[in-house]
Each structure stands twice: as structure tokens, then as C-alpha cells.
């Protein structure tokens, strides 16, 4: 009987020791499967601590270390997120959260696409002729009259310029153009419109047909200056002995007496000069320069003889 009791006690000891060994072994295996992290926590006052934890959720780590956020604070990553590979939790003031910079290894760069974009871009230098628009200038010589009419005393002409551009193409489609040089080939000629008093004539006034020399009517009006090309000399003294003056002096046939006043395009001129080619219904208007005379050209205008 005594031997049986001793054997029973021995069996219970063996079972108890085996149970303890199994518990220790299970705990060791469990501990081996738990990953321990060393996490750095930065506070909003720039203070830092490092903690060792087996937890990965940000809220759990803060709670484990008895850290409570203030009302004006936030955390990166957020409370519901897991800690990142950086193993760093940043507590900051709301509105001052750190800017996340992508890890160079996480940026997916498609080298082939970028290379294709650049290889399809070409450049060329081209030269083109472009127009320079003329301007319209209005001259009012109506002296405030309520009855006016407009007449074109100089037609406008566009100028030209040669422009060199550096042009970029992508897949043969122009994507940009940069001007690198320009040169004016022809200056524009401004259009001149004259506002003048509208002439009202009575029924007894000569008809506005072709003017008979010395009378009101339509005349061929040209222009000249005192240069050698126009007159053969350059003294500026007219056939009447007066000095030629722009917007005043005209050359007319001998049927017009010197001193006769005529109105052309609203301007009153005085007959003070003659000319070998000035015959019939032709009148020459004096200009200050040869370029102005050329710009005038040939015009057919109504000429009103005042006296």
C-alpha cells in the first residue's frame, strides 16, 4: 500500500512538471512571433522620446505610453493608421502638420515615356514676312462746324517686316514660337481722314461736273514742292513773287488770276504759282517736302472758286 502511494505521488509530480514545461515552451514560441519595434515620438514642443512596443497602431502606442493629444494637436500618421517603416510618430499643432515627401524608392518614373516625349520634340528657325497694320489719323479742319463731311486725303498702306522665329514642334505640331529677330522692310503709310465743313451751294452755283478752267468743278489735283525734281530750282519763290507756303499756295492755269481764292478739301488756297504742265482743269498743291508730294499722288477733287 505504501509503495502504491509513492508511485502515485511520482506520477503527479511528473505531470505537473510537464505542464509547467509546456506553458513555458508556449510562451517562448508566442514571444518569438511578436515583433518588437523601437518607435520615436516627436511632440509639438520639439521634445522627443523613444519607446519599445509590440503594438503597431498609433492610437495603441500612445495609449500604452499614457500620451493624450491636446485639443489643438494632431498626429502623423493618424490615430487609426499603423506606424510606417520610419517608425516615427509626430505630434504637431493643427495647421502645422509636416509635409510628406515621397521616398525616392516609391516614385515610379517611366523612363521610356519621358524619353519618348523628348525625342519627339524638334526645333527649327524660320523667317516669315508679316504685315505692319497702318494707323488711321483724323484731322479736323471744320472749326467746330455742325455740318461736316469726311474725305480721305491719304490712303493707308500696310508695311512689312521680316521676322525670325525659333519654333518648337512635337510630333510635327507647333507647340511654341519665340521671336529672335525682326527687320522692317517697308514702313506703313498712315491713312489720313480730314473732317471739313460741308460746302452748301445754291442752285446758281456752277454744277459739280468737270471744272472749266477758272470755274468751280472737279479738277485733277496733284502736288509739288520747291525741290529740283519738281521745279528745276529750289528757291521756293513762286511765279507771283510770293514765297510758296504749304496749305496756302497752289499753281493753277493762267485762267486763274494770281490771288484767286479756292477751297479744296475744306482748305482755302491762293493761286500764286504757274507750271508748264498745269493746264486745263489741273491744279498743283504746294507741299513742304518731296515725300509729302509723292504721298499725295493724283486726286480728283471738287474745287470751289471763291473769287
* pLDDT single digits (tens) 215-227: 888 899 999 998 8
- Is residue 231 a part of any domain in this protein? yes
Query: Is the separation of the CB atoms in 284 and 222 below 8 Å?
Result: yes
Report d(CA 235, CA 116) in Å as an integer: 75
- Is residue 3 a part of any domain in this protein? no
Overall number of domains in the chain: 3
pTM: 0.35
pLDDT in tens, 21-63: 667 655 554 445 567 888 899 998 888 988 888 888 989 989 9
**209 and 228 fall within a common domain:** yes
Q: What is the pLDDT of residue 95?
A: 85
**185 and 279 fall within a common domain:** no
**240 and 280 fall within a common domain:** yes
Report d(CA 233, CA 244) in Å as an integer: 13
- Is residue 218 a part of any domain in this protein? yes
Q: What is the pLDDT of residue 108?
A: 55
- Is residue 7 a part of any domain in this protein? no
**276 and 297 fall within a common domain:** yes
- Is residue 73 a part of any domain in this protein? yes
**295 and 203 fall within a common domain:** yes
Q: What is the pLDDT of residue 154?
A: 82
Report d(CA 222, CA 275) in Å as an integer: 12
CATH number of the domain within which 69 lies: 3.10.20
**91 and 176 fall within a common domain:** no
**261 and 284 fall within a common domain:** yes
**96 and 119 fall within a common domain:** no
Domain extent, residue 253, equals 199-305
- Is residue 211 a part of any domain in this protein? yes
Helices (H), ranges, the chain: 2-33, 58-64, 111-119, 228-231, 290-296
- Is residue 4 a part of any domain in this protein? no
CB-count burial class (<10 Å; 0-12, 13-18, 19+) for 116? exposed
CATH number of the domain within which 184 lies: 2.20.230.10
Rg (CA), the chain: 52
3-state class (DSSP) for residue 102: coil
Q: What is the pLDDT of residue 202?
A: 43
Query: Is the separation of the CB atoms in 52 and 38 below 8 Å?
Result: yes
Cell of 199: 460746302
**227 and 172 fall within a common domain:** no
For 22, 96, 132, 281, the CA distances from 188, given in Å and listed in that order, are 106, 61, 6, 32
Cell of 226: 520747291
**228 and 181 fall within a common domain:** no
Query: Is the separation of the CB atoms in 134 and 184 below 8 Å?
Result: no
Q: What does the pLDDT profile of the chain (307 residues) look like in tens digits?
A: 445 555 555 656 776 776 776 676 555 544 455 678 888 999 988 889 888 888 889 899 899 998 998 889 999 998 999 988 888 999 999 988 887 655 555 445 555 555 666 668 899 999 999 999 999 998 887 777 778 888 787 888 899 999 999 999 998 899 999 999 999 999 999 988 888 877 654 433 444 444 556 688 889 999 999 887 887 766 788 888 899 999 999 999 988 999 999 999 889 999 999 888 888 889 999 998 888 989 998 898 899 998 7
- Is residue 288 a part of any domain in this protein? yes
Cell of 302: 471738287
Q: What is the pLDDT of residue 207?
A: 41
Q: What is the pLDDT of residue 10?
A: 63
Report d(CA 85, CA 208) in Å as an integer: 100
**161 and 75 fall within a common domain:** no
Report d(CA 90, CA 48) in Å as an integer: 9
Amino acid at each position: 500500500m505504501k509503495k502504491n502511494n509513492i508511485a502515485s505521488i511520482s506520477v503527479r509530480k511528473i505531470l505537473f512538471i510537464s505542464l509547467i514545461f509546456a506553458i513555458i515552451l508556449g510562451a517562448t514560441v508566442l514571444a518569438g512571433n511578436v515583433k518588437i519595434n523601437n518607435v520615436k515620438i516627436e511632440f509639438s514642443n520639439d521634445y522627443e522620446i523613444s519607446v519599445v512596443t509590440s503594438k503597431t497602431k498609433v492610437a495603441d502606442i500612445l495609449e500604452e505610453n499614457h500620451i493624450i493629444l491636446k485639443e489643438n494637436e494632431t498626429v502623423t500618421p493618424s490615430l487609426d493608421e499603423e506606424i510606417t517603416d520610419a517608425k516615427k510618430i509626430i505630434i504637431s499643432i493643427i495647421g502645422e502638420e509636416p509635409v510628406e515627401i515621397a521616398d525616392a524608392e516609391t516614385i515610379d518614373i517611366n523612363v521610356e515615356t519621358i524619353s519618348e516625349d523628348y525625342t519627339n520634340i524638334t526645333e527649327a528657325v524660320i523667317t516669315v514676312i508679316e504685315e505692319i497694320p497702318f494707323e488711321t489719323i483724323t484731322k479736323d479742319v471744320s472749326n467746330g462746324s455742325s455740318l461736316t463731311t469726311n474725305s480721305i486725303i491719304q490712303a493707308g498702306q500696310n508695311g512689312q517686316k521680316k521676322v525670325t522665329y525659333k519654333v518648337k514642334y512635337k510630333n510635327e505640331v507647333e507647340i511654341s514660337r519665340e521671336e529672335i529677330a525682326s527687320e522692317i522692310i517697308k514702313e506703313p503709310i498712315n491713312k489720313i481722314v480730314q473732317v471739313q465743313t460741308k460746302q452748301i451751294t445754291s442752285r446758281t452755283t456752277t454744277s459739280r461736273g468737270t471744272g472749266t478752267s477758272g470755274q468751280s468743278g472737279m479738277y485733277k489735283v496733284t502736288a509739288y514742292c520747291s525741290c529740283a525734281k519738281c521745279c528745276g530750282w529750289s528757291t521756293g519763290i513762286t511765279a507771283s513773287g510770293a514765297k510758296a507756303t504749304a496749305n496756302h499756295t497752289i499753281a493753277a492755269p493762267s485762267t486763274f488770276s494770281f490771288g484767286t481764292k479756292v477751297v479744296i478739301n475744306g482748305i482755302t488756297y491762293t493761286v500764286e504759282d504757274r507750271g508748264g504742265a498745269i493746264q486745263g482743269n489741273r491744279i498743283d498743291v504746294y507741299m513742304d517736302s518731296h515725300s509729302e508730294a509723292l504721298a499725295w499722288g493724283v486726286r480728283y477733287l471738287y474745287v470751289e472758286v471763291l473769287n
